[in-house]
Amino acid sequence: MTLAVRYTAARTLDTAPAPRVEPGPGEVVLAPAYVGICGTDLHIFHGDMDARVATPAVLGHEMSGRIVGVGPDVEGWQAGDAVTVMPLRWDGTCPACRAGHQHVCQHLDFIGIDSPGAMQQRWTVPASTLIRLPESLALDRAALVEPTAVAVHDVGRAQLTEGEKAVVVGGGPVGVLIALVARAAGAEVRVVEPSAHRRALAEALGLTVWDPAADDIGALVGTWTSDAGADVAFEVSGAAGGVDTAVEVLGVRGRLCLVAIHPRPREVNLHRFFWRELTLVGARLYDRSDFEKAVALVADGAIPADRLISKVVPLTQAPAAFEALEGGGDVMKILVDCTDDTDDAQGATE
């Protein structure tokens, strides 16, 4: 048996034994080291995804760890390898897959939502989902590769280029990561965030941050861009006001990249889209190249992962950590330490 964090009902998590799954052909067993709690996990915790999530559900998809077992027909991997997981399984036959967009497969299995996730001491996954980590990268920092891959994909979807000006609306974990990835790409970046704690953290990372409650965002963008408007806006807040801000800051032929999940339809200033020939593009998940670039960004320090980690808690304290994250403003990223001291987990606690 292995200990796992399980979602059983709205606002109800427990830590309980779960059966170990022996690896079949093409599968490996991992000893997860650290697993991040993300916004989607919180949506599950709140009961917002009960129509999709079968209980009891083992959560978690932002992870790092090591291989401890290899099934038949697995090549190129061995016990002890440090890895993260791109938590996507696609069918390969739907129209999206046939068009080359497997990451938005029309029958996608998002591992950690649609099937058991990483918040457990042993986790069996397809070897095809593995992403190799450099041995020099500490495993706690490597747990931020998955959300960094999201940011890499978002910046790519926006077609952001060196020298362009970008406004990130929402300075939570993904918003800050988008800003850092955009900066690494050579863009000039501004972040709009109402939380004083999150503004302070972003500023400590060298980002320029504006407070929508105190600042005239439109006037600031006008001064910054000589009244041209921003080239790109990323809507990461998930709020109606964030959509308005993201649209209003854009210049002629600006691109709005929609990152946040909006639970209900929003009013959008379509006249602005017409008048300035704006473009709206959605961004969802990532592909392997996004993950590989994310590994490089975290490994070389362009993403200062250690400064984004608010705290690390043991697996048995994960339910309390979910409650701590609900306030949002004073916490950026909480990691769950899933390591144990059994013999085949040695090396997984670095």
Catalytic residue check, 43: yes
Question: If we measure between CA atoms, which residue out of 4, 30, 23 comes closest to residue 119?
Answer: 4
Catalytic residue check, 153: no
Would you say how long the chain is, in residues?
A: 350
Whole-angstrom CA distances from 9 to 17, 31, 57, 224, 271 are 17, 26, 9, 48, 43
Q: One of 40, 225, 279, 349 is an active-site residue; which one?
A: 40
* Contact predicate 337/311, CB 8 Å: no
* Contact predicate 190/170, CB 8 Å: no
**At a CB cut-off of 8 Å and minimum separation 6, what does 212 contact?**
192, 193, 194, 241, 245
Q: One of 15, 43, 124, 262 is an active-site residue; which one?
A: 43
User: Cis peptide leading into 56, omega within 30 of 0?
Assistant: yes
Side chain identity at residue 23, one-letter code: P
Query: Which residues are catalytically annotated?
Result: 40, 43
